[in-house]
Homo-oligomer: A and B are copies of this chain.
């Protein structure tokens, strides 16, 4: 699987989905092209999916928000008869390398979370209109919707048959959403997850596996009715015109480095380090809704988010040996503040709000990236507000102290703004500063007292905002030693360590999906009972069951 995976797509290129618009209601049809697998060696039968299918879904969700603000309800349905969705493609999973499986699950989980929060965040609620078999990852798609409707045709069902059929978990949030969101009684959850054939009709409703069971003859009608009701309740901006998410400007160099308009990714594959440099504003902040609309996808904060998001996904999937991501910025901190302030001032406008929401999602994507993350705060950098938030997402930060010889750029500073105190919560529900200062909550107040000040290294260090501050005598050596040290550690141990240290404090359904559920699934994804020659994944479809080592661990 050495093919480069591209996360950019657009409706003209979709192979697996169809979107129809009907004013405030959008209908998203999953209609997977069997021959359209991202890799060789499997067919996407029964509306099963692989990463390629999910990349298109992620694109649909994103465009729904930016290109179709008039939509208040999205109905997710199948384009096929008799099957809603059979879940992740088993042959793809059986053939994929461990790292791909894990990355695939993480991306699909992030995508589910994105449309799950669309209702609350953006007033775009998702309905799953289930006809036919809705199994495994298919039911997990439905579980992430706000409302699940099941037709009562005597055959259509919902199921999580992973444990009995495949010896793996319903790992795209399934196990967590049935306990934490649908709140199934745990013994019923145990029964449900043991039933290959799933549950249909009345019992699905009684067990709270779905929200409505609808007579088959009236299904389409009731779904439309419900969609219109929900859309009306969400009250989307009438007559709003979306912007166009134009293609990214992106160039790959031969060594794998990437240049976007605002993001530069320099790769050192030998050292296992990618240096990601974000450029400050190259344009004026929008002074009005009209100006923001005029900027559209060119708006600095939106463009930067899209480019950084793409870069991170690219590194996750295509550069497995890059163990450390180094974040740098270059630009004028006050210009960053101005861009952010402009959006906050225009927040009544859906587009301004969507851009800020996108940063919330993107920062969570950074939190969830299983590479060592480090920020360098150098002379001439612009870690202000939204960009300063990156400092609290990384594992460590190094700040340059004072003037650097021969460097006439302004001294390194950090500027906190309002957004660092609530606008971008982590998955655990706390701000990154609250999580950072879990043991000393007064430190959050002390930081807040210095709002909008350009803090130099001494102050930043005193406030606990950086890990280390070094002057120009020590700077290069310290960072070199750190990068070498990190490269000498086991990547697996670092992944496990970072997954534990980054999410202190409370847990939420979201952190439980990425923490508890994912960790167990990753464990199972290595067990011979699942992935071995005679394991269930390999044997699926051969008519032979997996042969299991019966020892419990």
A439 near B183: Cβ-Cβ < 8 Å: yes
A396 near B190: Cβ-Cβ < 8 Å: yes
Contacts A491-B551, A496-B169 hold; do A504 and B183 have CB atoms under 8 A apart?
yes
B502 near A553: Cβ-Cβ < 8 Å: no
| Stretch binding the partner chain, chosen from A46-54, A234-242, A332-340, A521-529 | A521-529
Q: Which chain A residues in 78-120 approach chain B with CB under 8 Å?
A: 98-99, 102-103
Most buried by B among A166, A435, A549: A549
Q: In whole angstroms, what is the CA distance A100 to B184 when docked?
A: 33
B493 near A169: Cβ-Cβ < 8 Å: yes
Q: In whole angstroms, what is the CA distance A492 to B502 when docked?
A: 27
A551 near B99: Cβ-Cβ < 8 Å: yes
Contact with B along A156-170 (1 / 0, CB 8 A): 000000111011110
Q: In whole angstroms, what is the CA distance A488 to B498 when docked?
A: 36
Task: Pick from B168, B178, B395, B549: contact of A186, CB below 8 A.
Answer: B395
B530 near A493: Cβ-Cβ < 8 Å: yes
Q: In whole angstroms, what is the CA distance A439 to B189 when docked?
A: 12
Contact with B along A467-497 (1 / 0, CB 8 A): 1000000000000000001111111111111
A323 near B552: Cβ-Cβ < 8 Å: yes
Chain B's closest residue to A506 (CB) is: B507
A519 CB-CB contact with B under 8 Å: yes
B186 near A436: Cβ-Cβ < 8 Å: yes
Most buried by B among A169, A394, A397: A169
- A305 to chain B minimum Cβ distance, whole angstroms, is 23
Q: In whole angstroms, what is the CA distance A545 to B490 when docked?
A: 10
A321 CB-CB contact with B under 8 Å: yes
| Stretch binding the partner chain, chosen from A7-15, A19-27, A289-297, A509-517 | A509-517
- A369 to chain B minimum Cβ distance, whole angstroms, is 9
A320 CB-CB contact with B under 8 Å: yes
Q: In whole angstroms, what is the CA distance A183 to B440 when docked?
A: 8
Q: In whole angstroms, what is the CA distance A457 to B188 when docked?
A: 17
Chain B's closest residue to A190 (CB) is: B395
Q: Which residues of B have CB within 8 Å of A495?
A: 520, 552-553
Q: In whole angstroms, what is the CA distance A503 to B516 when docked?
A: 10
Contact with B along A181-210 (1 / 0, CB 8 A): 011111111110110000000000000100
A492 near B530: Cβ-Cβ < 8 Å: yes
Chain B's closest residue to A500 (CB) is: B175
Q: Which residues of B have CB within 8 Å of A190?
A: 395-396, 467, 497-498, 501
Contacts A439-B182, A496-B524, A526-B523 hold; do A552 and B169 have CB atoms under 8 A apart?
no
Q: Which residues of B have CB within 8 Å of A193?
A: 497, 501
Contacts A496-B523, A507-B506, A519-B520 hold; do A491 and B183 have CB atoms under 8 A apart?
no
A163 near B497: Cβ-Cβ < 8 Å: yes
Q: Which chain A residues in 293-337 approach chain B with CB under 8 Å?
A: 320-323
A501 near B186: Cβ-Cβ < 8 Å: yes
A72 CB-CB contact with B under 8 Å: no
Q: Which residues of B have CB within 8 Å of A520?
A: 495-496, 499-500, 519
Q: Which residues of B have CB within 8 Å of A435?
A: 186
A438 CB-CB contact with B under 8 Å: yes
Q: Which residues of B have CB within 8 Å of A321?
A: 550-552
Q: Which residues of B have CB within 8 Å of A16?
A: none
Q: Which residues of B have CB within 8 Å of A494?
A: 163, 552
A458 CB-CB contact with B under 8 Å: no
B512 near A507: Cβ-Cβ < 8 Å: yes
A123 CB-CB contact with B under 8 Å: no
Q: In whole angstroms, what is the CA distance A440 to B186 when docked?
A: 12
Q: Which residues of B have CB within 8 Å of A496?
A: 169, 520-521, 523-524
B438 near A179: Cβ-Cβ < 8 Å: yes
A411 CB-CB contact with B under 8 Å: no
- A484 to chain B minimum Cβ distance, whole angstroms, is 12
B322 near A546: Cβ-Cβ < 8 Å: no
Q: In whole angstroms, what is the CA distance A45 to B189 when docked?
A: 47
Q: Which chain A residues in 141-182 approach chain B with CB under 8 Å?
A: 162-164, 166-169, 175-176, 178-180, 182
B493 near A168: Cβ-Cβ < 8 Å: yes
A499 near B522: Cβ-Cβ < 8 Å: no
A489 near B194: Cβ-Cβ < 8 Å: yes
Q: Which residues of B have CB within 8 Å of A492?
A: 167, 523-524, 527, 529-530, 553
Chain B's closest residue to A441 (CB) is: B183
Q: Which residues of B have CB within 8 Å of A523?
A: 492, 496, 519, 522-523, 526
- A203 to chain B minimum Cβ distance, whole angstroms, is 14
A505 CB-CB contact with B under 8 Å: yes
Chain B's closest residue to A514 (CB) is: B516
7 interchain pairs (CB within 8 A)? A164-B489, A167-B490, A168-B493, A169-B496, A320-B552, A323-B552, A493-B529
Question: Closest 4 A-B residue pairs measured CB to CB?
Answer: A183-B439, A519-B519, A167-B490, A179-B504
**What would 17 more interface pairs be, CB under 8 Å, given A208-B439, A495-B520?**
A99-B552, A162-B493, A163-B490, A163-B497, A167-B489, A167-B493, A168-B493, A185-B437, A187-B394, A187-B396, A187-B436, A194-B485, A490-B530, A493-B529, A496-B521, A516-B519, A519-B520
